Amino acid sequence: MERVPEVTEKLEVDQRVRLNRDRVLRAAVSLADDIGIDWLSMRRLAQELRVVPMALYKHVSNKEELLDGMVEAVVAEIDPPAAGVDWKSAVRLRVLSARHSLQRHPWARRVLESRTTKTPAVLAYMDSFIGIFLAGGFSADLAHHVMHALGGRMWGFTQELFEDPAAPVGQAAMPPAIQDVTLQQMAQLYPNIAVIAASSAHDNASVVGQGCDDQFEFEFALDLLLDGFERLHRQGWSSRPRDARQRADG
């Protein structure tokens, strides 16, 4: 009867329960979701946890490790691979599931790509991924190169860098008249981009450069690769010409 109220009062007075690594990581993930990775700082995170900045260092040894832990946390959310389907469907499902998970954390792509040291969850994911190919009868050799070819797409990342071919030119807040002029100038300077922008504008019946269907682009590229993998696999492709499996079979 005595100690319970005491504890309760504690919790009321200073809201915070004891910190631990997991609470730190989960707070970091959701803070990054909210304010963006660029504005995530040790100090800001500490403030969120109602704690002094240096307190965090009792749970992660530095910011790099915090980021590692954050990646670890979101990668751990990815569903396990589907069982009992052919390799192609299995890969497709797994990638799309990863994509779905990682899309909830827009910062994850950049952070994942910036990590150099691979953490256990990351390695486990890649391992299970390779497992799908091997189980599908791929040689280690082919599986290896195929993983490289997949690259970031194994996480469900669409390759940035060509997002909305026209939009980036229409800067921030411009009067529409000026935007029109800029658009015309742009069409003159970059006629081929203009062609594509016009074509995709028809496609989704919206204004020029409205943006692209990310999911479509992703699946387009993914299926292109998967079909390529399948072809190589069927013809017994090998990177070692001396094996001559390709020539022998193909």
Q: What angle is formed at CA 234 by the lines to CA 229 and CA 236, rounded to 5 degrees?
A: 95
CA–CA separation, 50 and 126 (whole Å): 37
CA–CA separation, 167 and 116 (whole Å): 32
3-class secondary structure for 132-199? HHHHCCCCHHHHHHHHHHHHHHHHCCCCCCCCCCCHHHCCCCCCHHHHHHHHHHHHHHCHHHHHHHHH
Closest separation in Å from C-beta 98 to a copy of itself: 12
CB nearer to DNA: pick between 15 and 199: 15
CB nearer to DNA: pick between 21 and 88: 21
| Interface pick for DNA out of 27, 55, 169, 201 (rule CB under 7 A) | 55
Closest separation in Å from C-beta 1 to a copy of itself: 48
The answer to the question of residue 18 lying near DNA (CB under 7 A) is: yes
Closest separation in Å from C-beta 10 to a copy of itself: 41
| Interface pick for a copy of itself out of 36, 106, 228, 250 (rule CB under 8 A) | 228
Binding mask 138-177 for a copy of itself (x = CB under 8 A): -xxx-xxx-xxxxxxxxx--xxxxx--x--xx-x------
CA–CA separation, 210 and 191 (whole Å): 17
Instruction: Look at the block and give the residue holding tokens 């950049």.
Output: 110
The answer to the question of residue 8 lying near DNA (CB under 7 A) is: no
Closest separation in Å from C-beta 170 to DNA: 23
Q: Look at the alpha carbons of 29, 30, 35, 36 in this order and tell me if their dihedral is positive or negative.
A: positive
Give residues 113-142 in contact with a copy of itself (rule: CB under 8 A): 113-114, 116-118, 120, 123-124, 126-131, 134, 139-141
**In terms of DSSP H, where are the helices of the chain?**
3-13, 21-35, 42-48, 63-75, 87-103, 108-114, 120-135, 140-150, 176-189, 191-204, 214-234, 245-249
CA–CA separation, 39 and 29 (whole Å): 12
Quick one: which segment of 19-27, 48-56, 92-100, 106-114 binds a copy of itself (CB under 8 A)?
106-114
The footprint of a copy of itself (CB under 8 A) covers 110, 112-114, 116-118, 120, 123-124, 126-131, 134, 139-141, 143-145, 147-155, 158-162, 165, 168-169, 171, 186, 189-193, 195-196, 198-200, 203, 212, 216-217, 220-221, 224-225, 227-229, 232, 239-240
The footprint of DNA (CB under 7 A) covers 10, 18-20, 40-44, 51-55, 57-59, 62-64
